Structure 1
């Protein structure tokens, strides 16, 4: 695991993200700029750093509620060096254990172009309307076909007693056929 070395009591102090294992064991830790949302002790250990400002140093992503796509985003990250005492090197033997900020940067987008927001608005509103239209259309078609089938069933039940035989010029009735059949059966 990159972020939490095995065997250590805690991964990193509050507000820091230890990436040393991902960076070839270099003592690099990430945080929000000016240790925003981090432990207050980090600010007191470094001279000249201003207190964090939520609006300038927060990380945010605005997501479209229907589509789940990003509308605005601002990623702000600070790269820090974890400095610790090394007794074997005379120049740094008296250094305290501190987290030293190297730099912070931000990347993001404040607003999507109008073409994209228009397309997203279209994609979020039109399909539900089309779906409703398809549902109404299919329901209407089903009702029409059901009515047509019912009409044909009623109409054919009224004509069931009359049978037109192909190849002949006369109509045979079902009653005539039944009488003929009964006469055969009685013989």
Structure 2
């Protein structure tokens, strides 16, 4: 549906989905709807595998939205997906260099040197969104903004189809102090310098959205209204039956009392 070097798999599980190293290259956005009940819920975890960079980042449910009159669930990359090991122990395998990460206290970046012939390359969200302040403040001109820099998926919950996706990722190069390189002599500690950030987005077109609404959304809405109507009718019928039964029992009780009074009055006369 969308051309991108991104693949993701939907999981309905609570186990850790981090620390995944992708060992093969991909061609396009692949969706495997593996939910046991066929529905994407708020507890679903989405693993975004940045195949070109051979690393995975998970996304979590954020909110319900509407896209071209189609209800969707939005999944976003949360801060804890890129958090330091101290904040999110699941990210322990990304902390390889204790000196660079200052004992695993840096958050907001993921090292991919193991996938890039040990070159000091790190990935992050654009403008170091959700990164440690020290990383952001080390470079001038950055202004992290959730609206412009987050990665998200808008997924139709019944079918699991992704109707809109925004893959935003920044490639950074890490520089260490070096006496041999003049420009790096004055650097006191490692810094992460942004090289480029990518913004790959895709949205379902109007014609496909119209077909989708006609085939799924409208029938599902009609089904919901029908179910509600039948529940209301059934409740009214049940209530009517209860009232009728109560009236019948009350009439029988009144009749018994009247008969008893007549017999009592007749006995008094004699």
Query: TM over 0.5: same fold?
Result: yes
* Change in CA separation of 1:20 and 1:118 when aligned onto 2, cut-off 3 Å: same
- CA deviation after TM superposition for structure 1 residue 56, in Å: 0.7
TM-score (norm 2): 0.41
For residues 67-98 of structure 1, what are the alpha-carbon distances to aligned partners after superposition, in whole Å with 9 as ceiling and x for unaligned?
11111111111111111123444553332310
Among 144, 148, 170, which residue is 1:78 paired with? 170
Output the CA distance in 1 between the equivalents of 2:210 and 2:133. 44
- CA deviation after TM superposition for structure 1 residue 6, in Å: 8.3
**Corresponding position of 2:139:** 46
Among 89, 92, 105, which residue is 2:198 paired with? 105
Output the CA distance in 2 between the equivalents of 1:36 and 1:104. 12
For residues 120-141 of structure 1, what are the alpha-carbon distances to aligned partners after superposition, in whole Å with 9 as ceiling and x for unaligned?
3344356997xxxxxxxxxxxx
Matched, 1:25 2:118: yes
| Count of aligned residue pairs for this structure pair | 128
Output the CA distance in 1 between the equivalents of 2:131 and 2:94. 20
Among 193, 201, 206, which residue is 1:114 paired with? 206
Output the CA distance in 2 between the equivalents of 1:66 and 1:5. 34
Q: When you count strand as a share of all residues, which structure comes out higher?
A: 2
| Structure with larger Rg | 1
* Change in CA separation of 1:124 and 1:11 when aligned onto 2, cut-off 3 Å: farther
* Change in CA separation of 1:30 and 1:7 when aligned onto 2, cut-off 3 Å: closer
Gaps of 5+ in 1: 130-187
Give the root-mean-square deviation of aligned CA atoms. 2.9
Output the CA distance in 1 between the equivalents of 2:94 and 2:136. 25
**Corresponding position of 1:64:** 156
- CA deviation after TM superposition for structure 1 residue 12, in Å: 8.1
Gaps of 5+ in 2: 1-19, 22-54, 56-92, 224-270
TM-score (norm 1): 0.58
Q: When you count helix as a share of all residues, which structure comes out higher?
A: 1
- CA deviation after TM superposition for structure 1 residue 50, in Å: 2.9
Aligned residue for 1:61, secondary structure, equals strand
Output the CA distance in 1 between the equivalents of 2:200 and 2:96. 35
Higher relative contact order (CA 8 A, sep 6+): 2
